[in-house]
Structures are given as structure tokens and as C-alpha cells.
Structure 1
Amino acid sequence: MTPASIQPVRQTGLLLCLMLLCLGAAPRPATTVALAQSGCATTASAPAAIAAASSTSGSIGLTYAGSIGGDTTAVASIGGGQSLLFSRSADLGMFRPSTSAFYKLHLDERVQDIAAGQDTLYLATGQGGLLITSPDATQQLGILRTPGLAAAVALDGQRAYLAAAGPGGGLQVVDVANSARPQLLGSAPTYSSAEDVAIVGNLAYVAEGLGGGIEIFDISNPLAPALRGALITPGAARGVAIANGRAYIAGGTCGLQVIDISSPASPQLLGAVATGGDAQAIRIVNGRAYLAADSAGLRIFDLSGATPQPVAGRSFGDLAPIGDVYLDGEVAALAAGPSGALIVDISTPALPTVAAAPTLGRVRAARLSGGDLYLALGDGGLADVGDSLTESLIPNFRTISGTTLSLALGPTASGATTIYTAGGSAGLGVAQATPGGPLTSLRTISLPGSTSAILVDGGNLYAAAGAAGVHILSLTDPLNPTLQTTVDTPGAALDITIDGGMLYVADRDGLQVIDPATGTITGSYHAPAGAFAQGVAVAAGRAYLADRGGLLVLDVSGPASPALLQEIPGFSAYSLAIQGATLFVAAGKDGVLAFDLSDPAAPRLAGRYDTPGLAMGVTPDGDTLLVADSDGGLLRLNVIAMPYQTWLPIITR
């Protein structure tokens, strides 16, 4: 068959496949995923409740629309800190301190490492391989899917070198002369799971991750890298840097390890220096080693002598852990995981100081008021980011410190919005924000228990406070809430909502119904042993409980006697929100689930979106949905009603 005659067959086959998919004849099979770190395999499939959803009625499509914040896993800096590059789950971002401007590019994979060239950026993206983008992080230029999981990338001339973990991984040599068409030239396997790589001359030094030690390869022939020598060291080898005939290893809990590589065929361990933390990454500039040491922060060593000497150590408190470091002139860029990215001034090495903390980290909850979006950042406090999730250019945001687990918006007076924050054991926070003006913390009100959720309704504020029950506060003075009474619930009050003048409380062991006028419990439902009710939503005489084992549906048409109607197992539900006839569930590792409530007593799964981490909170906003995700920060999803059931991949990321 000639090439000309093959093409029509391909088109016909593709059309036939699409027709079969639309008819539901070919649902997606389960996927087997190799676990590189443990060396085992598991079958990853949808939870039972999700897999069973195959009715012929309509579906709900959930698609990516924008994001902000999330875990920062890798950093780089250009031009003495003029631009900070950072990766956050499925985003690559760039921050320019001079203009407080953000640019970002949404990706399909999590960025593990960044190498900055003169006109391009090179990203190691795990199973996504090598990704090449424009220097302002706004345009994808090229991609190369490589074997294994691309964990680190080093650039040398027109070649990129990847350390790839897992099966098929090792050292990989890529020709990047043409950014649009990178080509794999050659590769070599490693004895463990390669985690970092450094290039000096014709030698590549590969850090072997949890297996410990390094391997040294001759790369003078890029088509066939040849092993020259290897050394297994105690502990892990998370990062590697080379200076003065020595390899310096970020050795996890074993600290900074020093290896003599003057004879590449027989490297020798010279010793190790404690770093006070779990050494994750290392860079060397001007005779000093800079280590990202997890909870111990940034550690700096002088390498001029026979043994590394500590120069300075700086932990960053709530901004830890530090997982990556990148040096550019007198600036160190740090990846602080759930706290975002940091810019540190190292012009005085003995006294590193934080110059900027320009990125958001993890997001616990979100609320909208007018044109402003307010975020609960957990230990990172409270942020006002404007309305920026759909823009590639994000305006400067405003934050206040403290713990913020959730938030509620109060009245607006003279253009200022009152914000109430649930601060855990710290109690209730009160703040104010004005459009374009400051975000100001006014006071913290101590309350018994641990405040995890709050609700404003009419002239009252209701706070779910764990073992202390539910606090009812008066908002006669909105800036100074006063405690009126506390309702002691039998379990631990974790979430709260109001419907028909009654409070419904997710009380860990079940549901409590409270009359706020009298401050008494009028009805209860006790869930089966082992239940953990942590979220609640109510509509049309039905209460929905978010449980670690799934979703519970209760009849509350008679609030005095709630009764179980249905259990939907197979996932962990963290929080719930209802808009119209749709129930949105933040389902942890299973992402976001959308249930059709056309029959309120029998919710039907109609859509799903796989988030980068654990979906923890959901907030409907018109035809979009805001999702607080442990790794991905705050996501905005388009919500699209589809009149017919479809097997096409409507759940995309």
C-alpha cells in the first residue's frame, strides 16, 4: 500500500474511533502506572462511584480557565534578580520585581527543574519529558517526550542533559539547536533513580537520588555516553555541583557530602558536613556552596579550605520548607514549596535576607466580592489578588500574615469590605480591604476550640470550632463581633451552612441541626462508625455530607429527624457547594466531582476534573468554578452543560 493510499484509511479509522467513543462503546480503560521510587506497580482507575456513571442523560464538562498559587517546586533567576522564574504544579511563572508583574504559562505537566538559556527556558517535566519555552514563560516552543521521568536538566551549549528517574530513565543527551524540534541523541542507564545532573567539560555527573552516590559519564560521544566511574554514598543524593576537582552532594539527612573526583574512574568520599536539615539541592558560586535544606532553610558554606566551613544559615519559619535554590549575581531564588517562591539578598553572605516573597503558595479557600478575589492561604495568611485568574499578567497582590483556614465576607461600608477569617486555634480574624488599597488586619478574637469554618448570615456570624461546638457572634458592630452563645455539639464541628433559618453542622460523627434563635440542637444524624463528616451543603430538603468515605445524602425535610437516603462511596469528600441543580464536590486526590441533583434524593455523577494535587475546596462563580487545590493553588474551571452523555474526554487539565 502506497503512502497516498494509507492517508484515507487513517482518516476513516479516526472517524470510526470518535463515533464509537461518542456512542459509549469504548470507555477509557484502567491505566497501569509504574512507581519509580518504590519499584512496584499499581492499577489506577476511577473510584467505584465514578466508574459507574454511565447513564444516557446530560453531562457537565469541566475545563481549565486559569490558576494562581500552588506549590513551588523549582526556581531560576535571570539578570541579577530582574526576573524570577518559578514552577507551580502545572504552571510556569515569571515575576519582574521592577514592575511587580507576573507572567505565566499553563502546562500539562508538573515542572521539576528549570535551566535558563540565553533565549529559551528548558524544563524537566517528569513524564512530560523536556519542554522548551520562550524566556518570558508565555509561549511553548518545543517538546520532547523522553523515557522515564525527567527530574533535572542541565544546559551546555546546544545540548541539554536530562537526569531521568524510573524505568527507562538515566542520563539523556538532547540536541536543542532547533528549539522547535529537540532530538534525543543518546542515553545511558543509571544504577538508581537519577535525580540531578551537572556538566563539566566532557563529563556528566549524575546524582542517584534515594539510591545515594554519583555516576560519572564520558559524554564526548553524545550518541553513546560511557560510564567512567561510580560511588555509592550513605543516604540520598538529591543534588550535585562541581568545583575544584570535587563533587558536592546534597545528601538529604546526611547533609553536604564531599567527593574527590580528580580521578573520574575512582571517585572517593572525603567526608560530610551536617546541614541541620534535609539537603535537597545545591549550587556553587564564587567558592561558596548554597544548599536548600528543607525545614532548615538556606545553608551557605565556604569551600576554600579542605573542609567546607559554614558561613551562614537562615531558616524562614512559616516559609519553609526550602526545596530548590538558584543563584544569579547577589540574588538567590528559593522554592519554598507550599509557601511559594522567595527572592533572597545574598550580597552579604553571612546575613541572607528576604528581599521579596512574590508568589502565592497553597490555597485553602476563596471568596469573591465585586472585582476582588480573597484567598485563605492556611499558614500563609490572607490574600487579595483582584480578579486575575483569567489573565496571563497578574497584578500585584496584597497579603496579611497569620493562619487562615477559611473566610467569609461581611458588609461593605464606605467602599471597604469586611473579611472574617477562621484562624484555627487563634480564633476569628477581622480584616478590611479597599479596592486598590491596603489589606488591613484589624483584630483577632480569641474563641474556644479550633475555628475551621465560618458563616455570615443576617446580623450574625457562626463559627464551627471543632470540639468546642458552634459559636454564635453578633455583628451589630461588624468590625467587632461579640460572642453571644456557644452550642456544644456531640462531635467536632468542622463545617457549617444555613438553610430555611436552620444551621446544619458537619460534626465529624454526623449531622447536627441547630436553631440559631434558641441556640439548641433540634435534630441529629449519627453516621456509621468510622465516618468523618467534614463538609455540608443543603438544598431542596436534602443535606449532603462530605465524608472521608464518600458522600452521604440525607432527608432533612423534617429537620428534627434527618434520615439517610443514600451513600455514594469510593472517594474522600472534603467540601461541597451547590449551584442550581449541581453539587460540586472537592474530592481530594480524585479532583472535582460534579453531581446532577435533578433528583435530589439520588445524585448522579455528571462530570469530573483531575486537579494537580488534592482538591480541598470549591466555590461556584457563575459559569465557572473556583477550586482550592493542595498543589495547584486556586484553579478556575469552566462549567459547561452538555445535553447528552459522552465518553469523549470532557475532563481535561
Structure 2
Amino acid sequence: MTHKRFHAAILIMFIAVQIIALDISNVAAGPARPGKAFEGEDTSAALLEYAGQIGGAAGGVDVLGGYAYLGVGPRLYILSITDLAHPSLTGKSPVLQGTINSVSIRGSYAYVTTGDTGLQVINVSNPAAPALAGSIDTPGIAYSVKTSGSFAYVADGPSGLRVINVANPASPVEVGAYDTAGGTYGVELSGSFAYLADGRGLQVVDVTSAISPTAAGLFLTTGGAFGVDVSGSYAYLADGGNGLRMIDITNPFSPTESSSYDTAGWSEGVFVSGNYAYVADGGSGLRVIDISNPITPQAIGQRDTEGWGRSVVVANGYAFLADVEGGLRIINVMTPTRPVEVSSYETPWIAEGISVAGKYAFGAFRYGGVRIVDVSVPTDPVLVGVSDTSDYASDIILNGGYAYVAYGAGGLHILSTTNITSPVDVGSYDTPGWAKSLAINGSFAYVADGSSGLNIINISSAAAPLSAAVFDTPDTASGVTVAGSYAYVADGNSGLRIVNVATPGAPVEAGSFNTPGFAGSVAIAGNHAYIADGGSGLRILNISNPASPTEVGYYDTPHYANDVLVTGRYALVADGNSGLRVIDVADPANPVEVGSYNTPGEARNITLMGDYIYLADNTGGMFIFRFNTPTGSRTQYLPMLSLDRPGFSITGRVTLNGNSFPGVVITTNNGMTAMSGNDGNYRLEGLETGSYLLTPSRTGYVFSPGTRTVAGSATGQDFTAALAPIVTPTPTQVPNRCTNVLANGGFESNTGWEITDTAFRAVYSTAEVHSGSRSLRAGITTPADNRYSYSSARQRVEIMEEADKAELGFWLYRVSGEGTNQTILLPPPGWELENTVLANDIQYVLVLNENRQMIDTLVWERSSRQDWEYYEFDLLGYSGMTIYLQFGVYNDGYGGVTSMYVDDVSLEVCPP
């Protein structure tokens, strides 16, 4: 994996999770009204039946005897490591109430922290069958745990240190607590003291009395303290962006820094053994630092890993690294200057899309590639194959011997599934935007390409896919479904766009409907479109007249609707932190929730095959549910997918002046299409028995013959192209003038800006305006809503290479409950900011490159002036480039809340 992110390795700690919340909901009669709770018999348990689960993000790790204990999503995996070159699964716990952040083994019990659901105690006396013994829900977010005597000491995020009596593992009881000023992420015990990685530094707590812990000493840092270990007279602090800090604790009441070493990555975990500190360094994997002289530490060894190094323990000359995306990595550190990975245990993290065919589920792995799972036994899914890439996989469709994958910045990739457990990349097309979702119809792939809109790609030649057309939607194309002659695009803040694709090479918008939320996914059933609308839940539109869709009903789901699938009378909604919701839409004007299952991760994507629902739960892995619907209450929502190519095919070649001629669309009389590739060849496949009229078309050309009639499979159905008469228009002189290249700089409409999908999203606001009726508000305004979150909006702009002037201007109105601070540490260029945990609330204006990586900071501070201020910047240095301008606020979840209003943004570009 070539890209590294400050991402879910930290973010999963903030996911609010509860599990198995089964309920029923109803909605009042009448069009376009929200759902209301329904009091009645709970039938959801019969409707949704948990079947199985696999994978998730790798959390904490501990080692004892011949076993490694690894947190994988919501389960504890016990791995035999008697043969270090071949670690093997011995047993795994039941699904817990949250995703695992840390693991600590003592005797016959594993103590694991699961975020919002606190501390879980697992009996591991039989490694083949670990069982939940007891649990306690802490008031904060449980990140890590250490035990001593009869007590477990839990780093509980915003609730500081919690002391739990575990003398009876079946009934743990909190007996004491110390609420720190920061956010407690890591804990280590030494003597009568607990040493806490407290976000903003090292907090030492005297735990002589477990019932009444008291503050001892404090040492503040600026990097973001996440992990801690103690050896001798020193505490070793994994301090995020500042690397490793060595703090002298000879006097625990007055700790002082001895030295530090700034690692290349993001230090999140540390384990000290002998003269060496082993650092789980985020995107840089494992770092080995010689601490024999605490005054002058030296980095002597490094081992990069597949993903994000999160926590590490060392035993018998081997480092065991929990690698968020890559599972468990076992690294020989007997020669610390040359760490060597000897083996790994891959854990499938299916974060995004899922497609199922036959006995296999293909999962899109957010941070690179595809995972193949055998689901022939739904109660026991098994990982059987991996296809790794360096790109961000967000959606996948299996069709006719190929897997089509939306790969973010990498566009569309086509994998051959001839060898089912080892698919091979046979072709790709790099779309101009960020490929989020896709649909396949005939010989075309329809890609929801983020800020670049809808990209239609000819896939008649898997080895050489070609762009047929690009339709630029107003906002962020996030989901797409094709039905009949229309592509239905979920376009973020601009709602649903209905695009006529009867001629794929010439798409035309037929109609639209601006939903109130962020349209991320769309499903079509009959005359209705069902839209997963982010924070606005499920929206239901009548699309019988594509030119004028109307909303007929909606259901406000509890969290954030990411995806929707419709089968018969049911809409299945992947609702973020509220898991899977089942909505009865038999009467679209009156949707009723009839079932739910609150998964431990973040529900992102749904697939239905036969009687089973497959849910991509982000850090929670993949869940499988049996859908026990009454006979006749649903139909299969899409054709049964196959790994083989169905029906018969028609092939031919198009030439111009005797040479191969690509880009010609061949259309059948029943609406199927194909496009000629670089070799001039086209292929129509999956056809049913019958007679077909083929018509070639490409703007500016005529063809001989004009049509062909074909019955059954056929080859050699060739066409010859010639230039059509050209009409030359009279050129219009354009005056030499400056242009504002930013759209909707006054935020008076819902267009132009991409509002990022975060825990607390930016919104258009009327609360504070500089001119007009609206502005953009980023950040949090109500203390009760305080949480860790970025909140931002960005717009993609191009500055002409020959520009003589490129001047950015904007107005800001800033508010913060944490006061003004103009000396906040700047991150280095290249950071993907919204995947980074920072130690302070920040208001920012950034310049990003095409990959959305930060390349410049225009504003990076915190202010509470509460008045409009004007800013102006010269961006001429970005001439000839495509950039993003991003306005936003970061809240760290502690102290006061911070917000910012933005208005009257312009980027004036002048030619020479």
C-alpha cells in the first residue's frame, strides 16, 4: 500500500456503538411526513436474524504463552503462534457490543475495551472457545486497559481514568475514578501510580487508594498523546505527530522531559523492552528506537507495514504489531537495526461495498483492494482470497466473469474472476474525479465520480475501457443506479439528478429533486426512487414523470443513511452508527420501520442475495443476516449475479479509412449498447434469444451500412465510418477580462461546494451572513453537540496556466468557546487532514491538490472575534493547476465548541 492515512485507526475510537437494538417504528399518514414511533408487538427479531460476521479493523494485541490475542472488529481472535511463520486461528469470541480498541491478558481472562460500550471481560481458559464472562459500560469512550490485583484501570477518553473491581469477572464494578482535563487514551501502571496518555500530555495519577485516585504530576505536550509505557525512571509517551517523548518520572509529582524523537509517522503505541522502545508509528509501521541513553535516543530500525501500525507488544525477540488494515504482523527484532517481518495474519476489513455471486462475497476494502469471502455457510464466513491495490476501494459489482471496482482516485478497475480466490486486474480507466459508486448496464459502466459527476465508460473491451461521456452534476456524485433509459444519480447536496442515457455517449439531464440532506445512494423500484439522504434519512420520490419528480414520503432514520436497497415492500437502509434499518414502504407515503439491528461499527453498504443480507459495517467488518420475510412480501431486487457470462453475443469492428475507429456507440432496438474500443472492436453480450437491429453512431460521422439486423450469436458485424459534412460556426470574439472561477461563492444555492461527510457536517446557514440571505457554517455551535469532528466544505477550481492574476478573497465570522489561539502547530504538507486527530479546536482555510491532500494553509488558528473579517490571498503560484479550496473547523470534542461562518468567496482569475 503506497498511501498512508491518519484515519480510522484513531477515528474508530470515537464511533458511538450499541448492538442488537431491535424495535418497530411507524409513520403518520399523508405525503412527505416523518416517521413516528409505533407501540406494538416487536416482530423485528423474527424479521432479521443474525447469521454470521467476519473481520473488521485490527485493534489491540497482547501475547501470552503460545497465543496472540488480537482485537478484530467486534471480536477477540486467539491465534496460535507456536509456529511463528504460520500463525493460525484457534478460536474467536462472540460478537461484542463494540469494536475492540485494546487487549490486556491476565490469567484466564482477556480484558478488552470497546469504546462507547466500555470494558468486556472474556474467559480465555479454552482458547478454542473464548466466552464473554462479564462487562461494564463506562461513562466515556473506553480506549485502553491495564490490570493490577483485583482492579482494571480503564483509559476512558473524555471521562478520564476509571477504576473497576474485577475480583468477580462476571460482575465488574466501578469503585473509583479520576476525571482528567484532557482525553485519556492510554494507561500504564507502575508502583502506586497510573501513567495516562491524556491527549495533551502525560498525567500521573496516584492510585494508592483505588477508591480515591488523586492527581500527582502533569507534563503537557503538543502532539496528541495516545500511548504510554513505563520502564525504570522514565515514561515513554507515543505523542502522535511529535513522535516519542521520554519523560523523567523519578519524581512522579513533577515529571520533566528528558528528550524526544520525532518519528516519521504518527506515534500511537509504544512498548519498551531492554534498551529499545518499539513504536507503533501509524503509516510508518514499526519504529525501533535505541533508548540506552535517554538523553540522546536514536532511531535504529524500521519496518513499514501494509496499513496503520496501531499497537505493539514484544515477546521473545518478536514484535507483534496490530496493523489496522493488515491484521497481525509478526516481526523479528532480534537484530533491532534490521527488523524482518516473518509472517502475518490477514483480517478482512470490508469497509465499503459488497457484491455476492454464488458462494462468494467480494468486499471493497477502503484502504486498498478487494477481499473474497466464502459465504456458503452464512454462520461461518471464511476469507479465501485477497486482491491488493494502493487505491481506495469504495464499491464493487460482479458481472459476467469480472469484478468492477470503484477505486477512488484510481477510477474504475476491472478484475478477471476466472481464478475466484485470486482475481487479476485486466483493465482500468482513470476517471477525472473520485470514483465512489458504480452501476453496470450492458456494455457500459456508470461511475459516480464525486465532484466530476457521472462518468460513463465503455467496458465492451475489459482490457481497454474507454470513456463514452462525462456528465458534470452540480455537487458530488456519490451513488448511481441505472433503470431503463435513465441513470439516477445521488448527487450529495444537490439531491437526485435524473440523466437520460438512452444514448450513453450523449447524456442529458431529464429532471432533478433537491433533497434536504446529502444524497449518497439511490434505489429504484417501479415509479419510485428511494434515496439514502445522510442525516435526513430515507427520502421517497415519485419519478413517474422524470422531468418533475416529487417527494411522497420520508422516514427519518436515527443516524446517517449511507445506502439503501429495495426489495418488494421493504427498504433496507445502512444507517451509519445505527446499523441496519428495515422500513416497510408498501405505502410510500407512510413508511414504517419494522426491524433493526444496531451493529458495532458504521453501516455503509447493503447487498441482498437470496434470503441473506450482507452488510459492510466499516470497522465492524461484514455482517450477514437472514431476512425472514413472509412469502410473497419481496422479490429479488436485482438479477442473480453469476461469475459466468450468460446469453449470446454479437461482435464486430468499426473502421475509418481502413483503420480501427474507437468511440462508436452500437445501439440495439431494445436499448442495449456497446462501444468500439481502441482496436475498433465492439461486443454486445448477455443477449436473450431474438432478432436485433444494430445502429452505429458517433457525432460528426456517418456509417455504412447504416444499420444491421442480426438474429442469434454473430461475428463480423462490421461498420465503416466516414466524416459527415462539417458546418463551421462563425467565431465570437471574447473580450479580455477577469473571471470569478468559483461557483456559488455567496452560498445562496446548494451547488458548487462539496460538503464533506463527517461526524458533524458543515451546513448552509442564515444565522450569520455578510451579504445575501445565507452563508456557510462549519463547526459546532451548541455545547451539547460537542464531539470529535471535522466540518468543512471545498470546491474544485482550475487556474489557467497563462493567468496574470489569481486573487482569492473571502469573509469569515468566527466563534469559539475555547478563546483565541494563533500559535497552533501546523501540519506538514501532504497530510489528508480530515483523517487526522489534533489536540486543539482549529478554524482553517486550506489549499488541497487534486488528491485532496493539503499543500498550503491560508488560515490555521482559532479565533472568537465574532465579527466579519476580510481575507485576501494571491494564488497565482497555482497557475496551470487544479486545486481544491477548503473552508472548515475541527473540534476535538473537549472544552468549548468552535465554529466559523464563511461568505462572499471569490477567486478572480485574469488572463494576460
TM-score normalised by the shorter chain: which range applies? 0.7 to 0.9
Counterparts in 2 of 1:144 and 1:305: CA distance versus 1, 3 Å: same
Bigger drift between 488-497 and 364-373 goes to 488-497
Bigger drift between 482-491 and 45-54 goes to 45-54
Matches within 5 A, 1:185-584: 187=176, 189=178, 191-192=180-181, 194-200=184-190, 202-210=191-199, 212-217=201-206, 219=208, 229-235=216-222, 236-264=224-252, 266-312=254-300, 314=302, 316=304, 319-320=307-308, 322-337=309-324, 340-354=327-341, 355-356=343-344, 358-387=346-375, 390-391=378-379, 394-403=382-391, 404-412=393-401, 418-434=402-418, 437-477=421-461, 479-480=462-463, 482-483=465-466, 485-491=468-474, 492-500=476-484, 502-508=486-492, 509=494, 510-517=496-503, 519-521=505-507, 524-528=510-514, 532-548=518-534, 549-569=536-556, 572-584=560-572
Displacement after TM superposition at 1:625 (Å): 1.5
Displacement after TM superposition at 1:367 (Å): 0.8
Give identity over the alignment, percent: 24
Preserved CA contact (<8 Å) 1:574 1:588 = yes
| Aligned pair partner of 1:67 in 42, 46, 53 | 53
What does the per-residue CA deviation read over 1:255-292, in whole Å, with 9 as the maximum and x for residues that have no partner?
Answer: 32323333456544434332344432211112211122
Displacement after TM superposition at 1:381 (Å): 0.9
Preserved CA contact (<8 Å) 2:416 2:425 = yes
| Amino acid in structure 2 at the alignment position of 1:154 | K
Counterparts in 2 of 1:279 and 1:99: CA distance versus 1, 3 Å: closer
Counterparts in 2 of 1:600 and 1:58: CA distance versus 1, 3 Å: farther
Displacement after TM superposition at 1:167 (Å): 8.1
Counterparts in 2 of 1:346 and 1:47: CA distance versus 1, 3 Å: farther
2-structure distance, mates of 1:101, 1:495: 37
1-structure distance, mates of 2:207, 2:533: 55
| Amino acid in structure 2 at the alignment position of 1:172 | V
SS of alignment partner, residue 631 of structure 1: helix
Counterparts in 2 of 1:103 and 1:393: CA distance versus 1, 3 Å: farther
2-structure distance, mates of 1:306, 1:494: 51
Gaps of 5+ in 2: 1-12, 15-22, 28-32, 632-912
Displacement after TM superposition at 1:547 (Å): 2.2
Displacement after TM superposition at 1:115 (Å): 1.5
Hey, which bits of structure 1, 4+ residues long, moved more than 6 A?
Answer: 45-51, 55-58
Displacement after TM superposition at 1:518 (Å): 5.8
Counterparts in 2 of 1:194 and 1:99: CA distance versus 1, 3 Å: closer
| Aligned: 1:94 with 2:83 | no
Displacement after TM superposition at 1:316 (Å): 4.0
| Aligned: 1:145 with 2:136 | yes
| Aligned pair partner of 1:128 in 100, 112, 118 | 118
Counterparts in 2 of 1:450 and 1:231: CA distance versus 1, 3 Å: closer
1-structure distance, mates of 2:365, 2:504: 34
Preserved CA contact (<8 Å) 1:469 1:488 = yes
Give 1 or 2 for the bigger CA radius of gyration.
2
Displacement after TM superposition at 1:203 (Å): 2.9
2-structure distance, mates of 1:345, 1:553: 56
1-structure distance, mates of 2:598, 2:324: 21
Gaps of 5+ in 1: 1-35, 38-44, 413-417, 644-653
Counterparts in 2 of 1:308 and 1:152: CA distance versus 1, 3 Å: farther
2-structure distance, mates of 1:280, 1:47: 45
Displacement after TM superposition at 1:131 (Å): 0.9
SS of alignment partner, residue 533 of structure 1: coil
1-structure distance, mates of 2:162, 2:326: 31
SS of alignment partner, residue 291 of structure 1: strand
| Aligned: 1:609 with 2:592 | no
1-structure distance, mates of 2:113, 2:172: 15
Displacement after TM superposition at 1:365 (Å): 0.7
Displacement after TM superposition at 1:628 (Å): 1.5
2-structure distance, mates of 1:563, 1:521: 22
| Amino acid in structure 2 at the alignment position of 1:140 | A
SS of alignment partner, residue 234 of structure 1: strand
Displacement after TM superposition at 1:145 (Å): 2.4
Counterparts in 2 of 1:489 and 1:267: CA distance versus 1, 3 Å: closer
SS of alignment partner, residue 232 of structure 1: strand
| Aligned: 1:161 with 2:152 | yes
| Aligned: 1:594 with 2:582 | yes
Counterparts in 2 of 1:524 and 1:336: CA distance versus 1, 3 Å: farther
| Residue equivalent to 2:882 | none
| Amino acid in structure 1 at the alignment position of 2:187 | V
Displacement after TM superposition at 1:457 (Å): 3.2
| TM-score of the pair, normalised by structure 2 | 0.58
1-structure distance, mates of 2:544, 2:177: 67
Displacement after TM superposition at 1:468 (Å): 4.5
Displacement after TM superposition at 1:616 (Å): 1.5
2-structure distance, mates of 1:120, 1:520: 64
Preserved CA contact (<8 Å) 2:371 2:383 = no
Displacement after TM superposition at 1:619 (Å): 0.8
2-structure distance, mates of 1:615, 1:185: 31
Aligned residues: 587
Preserved CA contact (<8 Å) 2:177 2:213 = yes
Preserved CA contact (<8 Å) 1:59 1:642 = no
| Amino acid in structure 2 at the alignment position of 1:199 | L
1-structure distance, mates of 2:296, 2:417: 49
2-structure distance, mates of 1:534, 1:184: 43
Displacement after TM superposition at 1:216 (Å): 4.9
